[in-house]
Chain A
Amino acid sequence: MIKKRLRAQKICFFLLKVAVAINGAALAIIVYFIVSRGWRAISWEFLSKPPTDSMTMGGILPCIVGTVSLCMTTILFALPIGVASAIYLNEYAGQTKLVRFIRLGINNLAGVPSIVFGLFGLAFFVIVLDMGVSILAGGLTLGIMTLPVIIGASEEALKSVPKPYREASLAMGATQWQTIRKVVLPVAFPGIITGSILGLSRAAGETAPIMYTGAVFFTPDLPSSIFDEVMALPYHIYVLATAGTNIEATRHLQYGTALVLISLIFGMNLFAIIMRAKMRKKLKG
C-alpha cells in the first residue's frame, strides 16, 4: 500500500521536474537560435554605423542610441514618482480606503496591455500635448508603463528595512521625514535600484508602446534633442522582419539586432540579480 503511494509520488515529482525542464529548454532554445545565428552579424561596424542601402546593409547605431535615450527618459520620469509613491504607501499611509484605492489603481495600471499604453501615448502625448513622435513622448509612455514595477520594487525595498531602525531614529528626536531621508532610504537604496533596473529592462524591450509615440521606421540622423524621433532596437527587429525591403536577405541583421537587444536586457537583469543576491547575503550576515 505505502509502496504504491510512494510510487505515485515518484511519478508526480518526475512530472514536476519535466515542467521545470521544459521552461529551461524553452529559454535555452530561444537563446541558442538568436546567438548562433546572430553572432556573425556582430562587428564593430554593425554597432557603430547607421543602416545603409535601404536598411539591407550597415549597422544599428541609431537604434542603440534611440533605445538608450528612450530608457533614460523613462527612468528620469518614473524613478522619482515611483519612489515617492512607495514612500507614501509604505511610510506614511495606514490601511485606509484611499490607500486601497491607490493600490487598486497601481495594480490595474500594471495590467494595462502595452498596445493600450501606445494608443494613450499617441492620443495624449503626441497629439494633445503636441510633442509629436519623439523621445519625450515615447519615454513618458514607457515611464507610465514602468511605474507600477518601480513602485512595487521600492515598496519591497522599504519593507525590508527593519522597524528598529526607524524607531531608533524617531526616539532620537528626528522627524519622520528626517528618518526616511537619513535612515530608511539609504538602507533601501540598493533594493530600489535593483528593482528599477529590472523595470527598465522591460521597458527597453517593449515595442508596442513606442511604435506610434517615439520610434520610427528609419531616420539616418542621431537625435539631437528629446523632441526628435528615433529608431529603436525592438522596433527595428519588427520592421526588418515584417516590412523590410528584402526580408530574407536581411535575416542576419535581424538576428544580430535581436542578439544585441537580448544581450542588453540580460545584462541588465544579471546585474540586478547578482546585486540582489549580494544584498541578501549582507542583510543576513
Chain B
Amino acid sequence: MRSGFLLVALFSIVALSLIIIFLFLEGIPILEHVSLKEFLFGQYWYPTDDPADFGILPLILGSIYVTVISGMIAIPLGVMTAIYLAQIAPATVSQIVKPIVELLASMPSVVIGFFGMVVVAPFIQQLFNIPVGLNMFNASLMLAFMAVPTICSISEDAVFSVPTALKEASLALGATHFETLVRVIVPASLSGICTAIILGLSRAVGETMVVLMAAGGAAMIPTSIFDPVRPLPASIAAEMAEAPFRSEHYHALFAIGIVLFVFTFLFNLLADHISYKFRQVGEASL
C-alpha cells in the first residue's frame, strides 16, 4: 500500500520533469538558427519577417518592467493588508475581509484583462492624455491585483504565527502596539513575508491573459511607463496560433517558454530556500 501511494506521490515530479523535457525538446532547436546571445539579447523581435529576427530582449524587459511596477503596487498593499488582518483587525472585520481577498484571488485572469482593456484603458487614456490606454502602466496595475492575494495570504500566515509571548514581552516593556509591530512582529515574520513577495511576483511574471489583453502588445523596448509592451507570456499566447508546426517561430516560442520557466523556477527555488532555511522554529527564530 505504502509503495503504491509513493508511486502516485512521485507523479508531480514526473509531470514537472515532462514539462521541462518537452520545453527543451521543442525550444532548443531555435539555437540552430540564432546563437543564445542573439536570442536573449537581440533587440528585434520580427519572427514572421524574411529573414526573421528572433531577439527577445524587448520581451524580457517588458516582463521585468511590468513585474517591478506591479510589485511596487502589490507589495505594500498585500503586506499591509496581511499585517492588518493578522494583528489588528477585530474578528468580525477579518471574517469579512478574508473572503474578499479570496474572491479577488479567484477572479479569472481573463476577466481582469478584459476589465483592463474596456474600463481602465479608456480611463487612463483620458486621465493622462496619452494616445493608447493599453500600456505598461495598465498591465502593471492589473497584475498588481492578481499578485496581492498571493502576497497577502502567505504573509498573513507568517505574521499570524509569531508567538504571542514576543508580542507580550514588547508591550510589557512599554512599547506601543505599533512599535511592537514594526520592531518585533514584522522582523520575526520577515522570512515568511519575503517568501510571499517572491511567490506573488513569480505569479505576476507568469501571468498571461492580463498582459496579453492590457499591455498593448508592441515588441519594443519601452522608454516610458505609458509605452505598450509585449511581455514573454503574451508573445507565446498571441503568436502560437500563427506559428507553423515545428517552424523556427514555433521553436522560438517554446524557447521563450524555457526563459519564462527558468525565471519562475528560480523565484520558487529562492522562496523555498528562504522558507526552509529561515523557517520559524518556536521563539528561536528571532
Contact = CB atoms under 8 A, between A and B. Distances in A.
Interface string B225-255: 0000000010011001100010000000110
Interface stretch (A7-15, A43-51, A52-60): A7-15
Interface in A105-128: 105-120, 122-124, 127-128
Contacts of A265: 106-108
Contacts of A254: 114, 118
- Among B26, B209, B254, B267, the most chain A Cβ lie within 10 Å of the Cβ of B209
B111 A242 contact: no
Nearest to A212: B240
B148 A23 contact: yes
B31 interface: no
Interface in B94-111: 97, 99-104, 106-111
A171 interface: no
B265 interface: yes
B22 A123 contact: yes
Interface stretch (A160-168, A184-192, A198-206, A221-229): A198-206
Q: Determine which residue in A105, A107, A111, A212 has the highest number of CB atoms from chain B within 10 A of its CB, and name it.
A: A111
B191 interface: no
Contact of A107 (B89, B102, B240, B268): B268
B265 A101 contact: no
A242 B216 CA distance: 11
Interface string B242-286: 000100000001100100110011011101100000000000000
A88 B100 CA distance: 33
A84 interface: yes
A119 B253 contact: yes
Contacts of B208: 113-115, 118, 207-208
Contacts of A24: 97, 100
Contacts of B83: 16
B18 interface: yes
Interface string A247-271: 0000100100010011001100100
Contacts of A33: 115, 119
Contacts of A27: 100, 103-104, 107
- Identify whether the interface residues of A are mostly helix, strand, loop, or mixed: helix
B257 A115 contact: yes
B39 to A, nearest CB: 17
A108 B268 contact: yes
A205 B206 contact: no
Contacts of B176: 2, 5-6, 8-9
Nearest to A211: B237
A120 B111 CA distance: 24
A205 B109 contact: yes
A30 interface: yes
A206 B106 contact: no
A120 B114 CA distance: 25
A269 B22 contact: no
A26 interface: yes
B111 A34 contact: yes
Nearest to A100: B276
A270 to B, nearest CB: 8
A116 B268 contact: no
Contacts of B40: none
Given A16-B83, A111-B199, A124 B106 contact: no
B251 to A, nearest CB: 11
Contacts of B85: 20
A106 B199 contact: no
Interface string A211-234: 110000000000000000000001
B5 A92 contact: yes
Contact of A123 (B5, B26, B114): B26
A153 to B, nearest CB: 13
Find the residue from B10, B11, B100 having the highest chain A CB count within 10 A: B11
24 contacts: A12-B178, A16-B83, A16-B88, A20-B85, A20-B97, A23-B81, A23-B104, A23-B148, A84-B9, A92-B6, A102-B10, A105-B12, A111-B206, A111-B267, A113-B261, A123-B26, A198-B106, A202-B106, A206-B108, A207-B208, A212-B241, A234-B110, A254-B114, A266-B103
Interface of B: 1-2, 5-6, 8-13, 15-16, 18-19, 22-23, 25-26, 76-77, 80-81, 83-85, 88-89, 97, 99-104, 106-115, 117-119, 145, 148, 152, 176-179, 199, 202-203, 205-209, 212-213, 233, 236-237, 240-241, 245, 253-254, 257, 260-261, 264-265, 267-269, 271-272
Q: Which are the 9 A-B pairs with shortest beta-carbon distances?
A: A113-B206, A205-B108, A9-B178, A19-B80, A88-B5, A208-B208, A111-B268, A88-B9, A84-B8
